[in-house]
Amino acid sequence: MPKFVSSRLFWIGLVTVIVALVLPTYVSGYVLGLLTVAYYTAVFAMSWDLLFGFAGEVNFGPTFLIGVGAYTAGILDAHFSPGLSIWLCIAAGALAAVVGGVVLALPALRVSGPYFGLTTLVAVLMLQNFIVVAAGLTGGEIGLAVPDVISIDAKTNYWIALGFMLVSGAILFGLSRSAIGLILQASGQDKIQAGALGFNVTKHKLAAFVVSAFFSGLAGALMVFYMGTASVSTFVDVGVGVQIIIAAVLGGRRTVIGAAIGAIFLIGMGELLRPLGELATLIVSVIALVVILFFPDGFLGMIRGGAKA
């Protein structure tokens, strides 16, 4: 995309950011709280898109990285509360996610396709089992109560989440447009050819895994200190991972920004339809399925008017 600044995408992005910036003046704390969660989810989805969209690997385990980050930060805070600063806990969470990402990537990158998918899925199931079995440390099925929060003010939390989403979005987007992103894309489309051109495919995928893990873990840790609690159902469950994948595909793969739009849409729709009770998830899933079947390039593809096709 050479004329990026003059593209429609850029202007839509700019308007969206301006709306997001003035929003806290006009809406209630409840809406801000919802958007705060949506922004963190957006980071999860963008991190996933970097790994899948560009490296072409179906990662079923985004919540493994998120869970490791979230629980590391939460457990540290729960056990050393006043002595250890929140920010140290968050940094430790991000670091632990990176370590977890490398541990997961080493066996996972040796396989591909469905096997890669399953390796990452098993990682999530193992983490979930571990959390339930080590209840003394992790709070088990009930969840882990974290004594500290970043702030109790809805606006402060909103600003932190928004800022974090914009910064990580910019970094991930920049990375996807850089030489590394191009190599990843090439290796995703034709692994052997990319290797023949002299690119170390595995090294680049590992790098994508590490970056993805860093942002997922960081977002998970920040979200723990926003919610004041960590539980399997919000951070680790396979269902959460499914939502992240759907968000990224729905928004438009290989766009990074689309993943964020998809995540905000999913959270917003889910909440909007909440009065319908059980039907809410059903309707959101039907919408997502229709978009995937008829607009495979997702929301961003719709905005661009199928220019890519």
Q: How far is the CB of 87 from another protein (least distance, A)?
A: 34
**293 part of the interface to another protein, by CB under 8 A:** yes
* Contact call for residue 149 and another protein (CB under 8 A): no
Q: How far is the CB of 67 from another protein (least distance, A)?
A: 15
Per-residue binding string, another protein, 218-247, x by CB under 8 A, is --------------------xx--x--xx-
SS (H, E, C) the chain: CCCCCCCHHHHHHHHHHHHHHHHHHHCCHHHHHHHHHHHHHHHHHHHHHHHHHHHCCCCCCHHHHHHHHHHHHHHHHHHCCCCCCHHHHHHHHHHHHHHHHHHHHHHHCCCCCHHHHHHHHHHHHHHHHHHHHCHHHHCCCCCEECCCCCCCCHHHHHHHHHHHHHHHHHHHHHHHHCHHHHHHHHHHHCHHHHHHCCCCHHHHHHHHHHHHHHHHHHHHHHHHHHHCEECHHHHCCHHHHHHHHHHHHHHCCCCCHHHHHHHHHHHHHHHHCHHHCCHHHHHHHHHHHHHHHHCCCHHHHHHCCCCCC
Q: Which of residues 102-121 bind another protein (CB under 8 A)?
A: 107, 110-111, 113-115, 117-119, 121
Among 52, 64, 199, 225, binds another protein (CB under 8 A): 52
Q: Return the number of the residue (55 or 86) whose C-beta is nearest another protein.
A: 55
Smallest distance from another protein to CB 126, Å: 6
Nearest approach, Cβ of residue 190 and another protein (Å): 8
> By C-alpha distance, which of 297, 304, 251, 257 is closest to 7?
304
**Residue closer to another protein, measured from CB, 153 or 190:** 190
Task: Return the residue of 18, 19, 21, 133 that touches another protein, per CB under 8 A.
Answer: 133
Residues in the chain: 309
- Binder to another protein among 91, 125, 137, 171 (CB under 8 A)? 125
Q: How far is the CB of 306 from another protein (least distance, A)?
A: 8
> Considering only residues 24, 34, 50, 56, which one is a binding residue for another protein as defined by CB under 8 A?
56
Q: Judged by CB under 8 A, which of 142, 286, 302, 307 binds another protein?
A: 286
Six token digits for residue 288: 């997502």
Q: Is 24 or 241 the residue whose CB approaches another protein more closely?
A: 241
CA distance 244 to 60: 10
Least distance to another protein, CB of residue 27, Å: 29
Determine if 281 is a binding residue for another protein (CB under 8 A): yes
User: In angstroms, rounded to a whole number, what is the distance separating the alpha carbons of residues 63 and 236?
Assistant: 5
Q: Can you tell me the distance from the alpha carbon of 309 to that of 61, in angstroms, rounded to the nearest whole number?
A: 30
Q: Of 18 and 279, which CB lies nearer to another protein in the complex structure? A: 279
Instruction: Give min distance, CB of 117 to another protein, in A.
Output: 8
* Residues of this chain that bind another protein (CB under 8 A): 52, 56, 58, 107, 110-111, 113-115, 117-119, 121-122, 125-126, 129, 132-133, 188-189, 238-239, 242, 245-246, 249, 253, 277-279, 281-282, 285-286, 288-289, 292-293, 296-297, 309
